[in-house]
Amino acid sequence: MIRKIIEKGDSILEKKCHAITKFDDKLHILLDDMGATLKSSGGVGLAAPQVGICRRVVVLHNEAEEKIELVNPEIVSSSGEQTGLEGCLSLPGYYGEITRPMQVRVKAQDRNGNWFEVEDTGLTARCFCHELAHLDGHMFDELCDKLYTLEEIQEMFESAAADGRAEAEAKREA
């Protein structure tokens, strides 16, 4: 079932989520619904509070488009640094430039309660940080100086591309 995605302004997005203690059909339904909701949204990750459930559950897709389910996740290590644009399904239409670790290792439980660790880099590492922050009541816009609309981002890219073309042409003429 596709669930409604909660948007910024709803107080559930500001709450610290509770740990999962029962690994039962109710959790499995939540994970399945979150997977379907994420797929239909076109997003990369989804945390339970974003569908109105104050529990420590995350579903995301890594860069290989494999689904990862994280129950009671915690970041156990991180390294490096990357800066890039981020958006959020709970703040549609807005993006911000955020610095996150380049590599992140997460310890979590699967849908049956078994502990495992997963490590990744790049966009997936960024997604781990972004989604786990939701579980503690935080959103990405707390970390950026300015929010941009999609139109503003497109204008920035077009301007940068035009500057690059002008620079290349000036080099050819020189």
Largest CA distance in the chain: 70
Distance CA 79, CA 126 (A): 12
131 belongs to the catalytic site: yes
Residue 113, classed as helix, strand or coil, is coil
Q: Report the candidate in 60, 48, 59, 46 with the shortest Cα–Cα distance to residue 17.
A: 48
Which of 131, 151, 155, 167 is catalytic? The answer is 131
Helix (H) or strand (E) holding 68: strand 67-79
Instruction: State CA 59 to chain mean position distance.
Output: 9
Phi-psi category of 72—alpha, beta or left, where left has phi over 0 and alpha has psi -120 to 50? left
Catalytic residue numbers read 131
